[in-house]
Amino acid sequence: MNSNQNQDKPLISLFTAISIVVANMIGTGVFTSLGFQAEGIKSGFALLCLWLVGGILAICGALSYGELAAVMPRSGGEFHYLSKIYHPAVGFLSGWLSATVGFAAPIAAAAMALEKYFSQVFPFFPPTAIALTVVIGVSLIHTRDVKLGSYFQNSFTLLKVLLIVTLIVCGFLLGHPQDINFLPANNDLNLIFSSPFAISLVYVMYAYSGWNASIYIASEVKEPEKNVPRSLLAGTLIVLALYLLLNFIFLYTTPIELLAGKLEVGAVAATQIFGELGGKVMSLLISLGLVSAISSMVWAGPRVTQVIGEDIPFFKLLARTNAKGIPYYAILAQLAIVVVLVITSSFESVITYLGFTLTLSSFLTVLGVFVHRFRYPDFPRPYKTWGYPVTPLVFLAISLWMLVFIFTDKREESLAGLGTILLGLPVYFFADKQRLVD
């Protein structure tokens, strides 16, 4: 092992950065959440509006994050931004969340979803063993080399996008149209402002989470001042288009009664389009597609931990890299947490309260665009938020509404999430005290 001074130069292209954003966003959410939305909403127009509103929010966030990424082009994401904009303690709490469960829990969730889809085709394999094999294997690949990780990431992301495009095209050509209206009807406006719509939007935003993925690896991106903002916007637009078309096909080809309440809506729709055998093949392909989501989070998460180790000497072991410049110990630390979550299956409760804490973190970061401009008006800005101040204000308004709703509806989970963040305070002050002593 050697230190950071032997790190290779940035090797990640714009294409790979976009690939990481796309892979991080397209995970379990789009293949699972429509079934729960269809329980309370029966209008095709209102259901597609859900995904459109979620996409607009993600785009507003990506445009805002792009400015901060251009001004502060370093890996670490919210940890780095919030430390510089507000106070190192605020940044640490965000980084603490990311380093403990912020990435590990979604990785575990994706691995468990993968095992469910895979088990539909090969039921004789032990499900937990499948999940553990995938997360350990992907983690080991990312400890080897950035180029190898890039090839692996790009290959599985292209496979996933091709899978979705194939499902969309075949749905149009082979599917039997259902009796559902995709044009606005008299009651649709009431539906859009209803409680079921509000509840569903929280889960849609979980499906869109990951639109900020490339900020966590900014130091490894070529020309990060230009390419990180580009990757955020391009990746989010691609996913928005795919999500709208994919959910349209689910509703176009499958009776809404069959989708309502179902977890594996992708498998249900594929069975309607291709038949029983085709549905199983599609389930296998969806499980392979989830590998890219796991890979992108395995790549991004340890970069936050690495930057924490670079900035706070108490955690310097986590900043150590191997000969290829890979944060080896940070990857292994994250893998250990994922393995525990997969074995105990305790990630489900973690995912529930992550919705509140991660929304709060992104809210503070987008608010930081205003704060940074106020505090540093003469700071050079290679990229400025398009549509400022409207785009960040739209993001802040919808996010605040979501925070209030989540806290009101899921108070215990929200308080548990805040408790997880606050647990980082004594850790921060202890580490900071050690730094002063040293």
Which pLDDT belongs to residue 352?
64
Question: Prior bond to 127 cis, omega within 30?
Answer: no
pLDDT tens sequence across 257-282: 888 887 778 888 888 888 888 778 87
Which pLDDT belongs to residue 207?
83
Which pLDDT belongs to residue 63?
93
Which pLDDT belongs to residue 385?
93
Q: Provide mean pLDDT across the span 292-301.
A: 88
pLDDT tens sequence across 160-199: 888 889 889 999 898 888 888 888 878 878 878 777 787 7
Which pLDDT belongs to residue 59?
94
| Calpha distance 250→432 (Å, rounded) | 52
pLDDT tens sequence across 308-330: 888 888 888 888 888 888 888 99
Counting residues of the chain whose pLDDT is more than 70, the rounded percentage is 94
Q: Which of 95, 222, 240, 71 is nearest to 150 (CA)?
A: 222
At 221, phi and psi to the nearest 5?
-95, 135
Which pLDDT belongs to residue 268?
86
- The more confident residue out of 337 and 262 is 337
Which pLDDT belongs to residue 430?
82
| Calpha distance 386→384 (Å, rounded) | 6
pLDDT tens sequence across 379-411: 889 889 999 999 999 999 988 888 887 788 778
Q: Provide mean pLDDT across the span 236-247.
A: 94
Average pLDDT, rounded, for the chain = 85
At 361, phi and psi to the nearest 5?
-65, -45
Q: Has residue 228 got a pLDDT over 70?
A: yes
pLDDT tens sequence across 42-55: 888 989 999 999 99
Which pLDDT belongs to residue 10?
54
**pLDDT band at residue 349 using 50, 70 and 90 as cut-offs:** low
Q: Has residue 60 got a pLDDT over 90?
A: yes
Q: Return the H-helix or E-strand segment holding 156.
A: helix 146-174
Q: How far are the Cα atoms of 19, 170, 274 from residue 157, in angstroms, in the given order?
A: 6, 20, 23
Which range of 5-14, 71-80, 108-117, 383-392 scores highest in mean pLDDT? It is 383-392
pTM of the model: 0.83
Q: How far are the Cα atoms of 208, 277, 352 from residue 249, in angstroms, in the given order?
A: 18, 19, 28
Which pLDDT belongs to residue 436?
55
Which pLDDT belongs to residue 5?
40
Contact 315, 437 (CB under 8 A): no
Query: Which class does domain 14-95+154-298+354-437 fall in?
Result: mainly alpha
Which pLDDT belongs to residue 76?
84
Which pLDDT belongs to residue 6?
39
- The more confident residue out of 261 and 21 is 21
User: Six-digit token pair at 167?
Assistant: 């499902």
**pLDDT band at residue 82 using 50, 70 and 90 as cut-offs:** very high
